[in-house]
Amino acid sequence: MLWIKTYITYKVSFDIDIENGMQEFILFINPLCFLMFIFGFGLFMKDKRRPTYIFAVSLIVSAILYGNVVYYREFTDFLTIPLLKQTSNMGDLGSSILTLMSPWDILFFVDLLILGLVMKFKPSFVVNKTYSKVNRRVYFLLVVAIGFFNLGLAETERPELLTRTFDREMLVKNIGTYNYHLYDAYLATKTSAQRALADGSELAEIENYSNANYKEPNKETFGIAKNKNVILVSLESLQNFVINNTLYGEEITPFLNKFIKESYYFDNFYHQVGQGKTSDSEFLLENSLYPIGRGSVFFTHSQNEYTTFAETLRAKGYSTAALHANNKSFWNRDVMYKALGYDRYYNIDDYDVNEQNSVGWGLKDKDFLKQSIAHLKELEAKGSPFYAKFITLTNHHPYTLGEEDATIGKFDSNSKTLNNYFQTVRYMDEAIEQFINDLKTEGLYDNSIIVMYGDHYGISENHNVAMAKYLNKDSITAFDSAQLQKVPLIIHVPGQKGQVISKVSGQIDLKPTLLDLLGIDSKGSIQLGSDIFSNDKLEFTVFRDGSFITKDYVYTSETLYDKATGEVIPDKSVAKPYIDKAQQELEYSDKIIYGDLLRFIESGQKK
């Protein structure tokens, strides 16, 4: 029953791309080896204990499968060991998790009810007997044979499968959900040992790569924001498709549409986060390194040495602060912000939060930004320029908003998530307008560079039917999904005219771009991004799963597309240099994080 239930779950709850009959066969058999193995231990038990063991295993395995189903509904991804360690986030995630569950999910556990009835009434077809050593040996030899058969077919379909640890869908499709979790546990053990075994010599190759890929700043933009305050706003879950777009004829983001006309607006800018979502976007901004493929760096490697954007500005005399009206320990920020170089973290304890000014995840954006003005005045009073990073909250799944705050209608589709999304986006747009006006009133606007960017997607691929309806498409293809990962990047510099910049870029480019605008030379530091304004900027953006976007290509789900037309390019060899570069950069970044390699620079062992 578990075998069949797992296969049905693959087909119904997971969007696993199947290209041929062999892949379908592998998908069908891949749960079998693990289930036979785990149930096989019951052969060593006494007759009375065996049914209890079988039921307990069935319950645990079903819970693991269901946990993946719920997580997949929002993130189109599978659980990992590092992610499960982030238990301190669970209290804040409660409302989001409940919206992902359905009353129909009770059907997911019908097999356990059947198993329980069989155990209670013991129908005649159920035989409980003792098995000999020969029986058990034959059984486990069969398990091993099935396992190698499955792995052999998988390697034939996808060579070097087990090296693609960043592609969880590929692993689940070929070795199965349960074997994937075992492999994930092995990786967790392996990566925990990397720091102890690392030494400074590993850094030399990465440092050479970073220096070789450094791009000289654009002379026209280098230093145009020198000694200005930096006010950076992370726009929760804001995707680019709502910018300059309408819902039933009404502008979704009227203020941002006006603001970008007097700012640098990057309309080909992509998020690059993994399972850490907002925390990953912060890590990309601060370090110009990729987040890890499993879990969040904020949890797993907060003890590392980093050379961050905040730390660099602090060394130049800036005071640094992060502002977010949430529990200070959420995403382990209270610990990680110290490692990133922030002097002050204004968290929920620094705000007046009550039932009237909060919704969903906490303090509403308008109240958060309004109350934050006083904190900015504190920073200004210190007499030096400041860097303040804001993280908004209201436009967060499940996108709940009271009627009194809704100033645009809902969309009409089969997705409640997308239907609500437009209302919370509009609310955030209004909050930003109010914030900009307050900055002007308080005299902070003209002496500050204002940076706003979307931290990650808001609408996952599980809502593709509704998204296709909104975009007037027949369906959302893998090519479309990749393009939907665009998030807005807006940089307002006092005295500079508005300009649209369409270079392919991503969050990994934020740090070098902002440092160059501030007139701070980042040459020689280890970073994998480059200044978007640079005339030599390579239009190349890598996603955490190894997919990438260039000026000419979109590579996703192991398929190469023409970026201009969306048509499939059969010969992937034309993009092989990019494919290799994407994998190399992800590997370099992982080595730095897992090995804590930047500590060798800090200690002077490597410069």
Could you list the active site residues?
278
- The tokens describing 269, both together, are 């800018």
**C-alpha dihedral sign at 599, 600, 604, 607:** negative
Quick one: DSSP state of residue 411?
P
CA distances to 140, 287, 585 from 216, rounded to whole Å, are 61, 19, 20
- Residue 511 structure tokens: 């740090």
Pairing of strands 319-323, 386-391: parallel
The torsion of the CA quartet 502, 507, 513, 518, rounded to 10 degrees, works out to 130
Q: 494 in helix, strand or coil?
A: coil
Contact between 388 and 231 under an 8 Å Cβ cutoff? The reply is: yes
DSSP H or E segment with residue 555? strand 553-556
Q: Residues of 131-170 as b/e, b for ≥16 C-beta within 10 angstroms?
A: eeeeeeeeeeeebeebbeebbebbeebbeebeebbbbbbb
Angstrom CA distances, 41 to 50, 139, 368, stand at 9, 11, 55
Give SS3 for 578.
helix
Please write down the long-range contacts of 187-192, taking CB distance under 8 Å and 24 or more positions apart: 187/81, 187/294, 188/80, 188/81, 188/82, 188/294, 191/594
DSSP state of 152: H
- As given in the structure block, the two tokens for residue 534 are 């640079």
Strands 553-556 and 548-550: antiparallel
Helix H or strand E segment including 526: none
Largest CA distance in the chain: 86
Name which of 456, 85, 87, 511 is nearest 301 in CA terms: 85
Give the amino acid at 50: R
Q: Where are the alpha helices (DSSP H) in 126-176?
A: 133-157, 168-175
Q: What angle do CA 595, 597, 598 make, to 5 degrees?
A: 145
Query: How many residues does the structure list for the chain?
Result: 607
Ranges of beta strands (E only) in 378-508 are 386-391, 448-454, 489-492, 499-501, 505-506
- Looking at the chain, the number of H-run helices and the number of E-run strands are 23, 18
- Secondary structure class of 505 (helix, strand, coil): strand
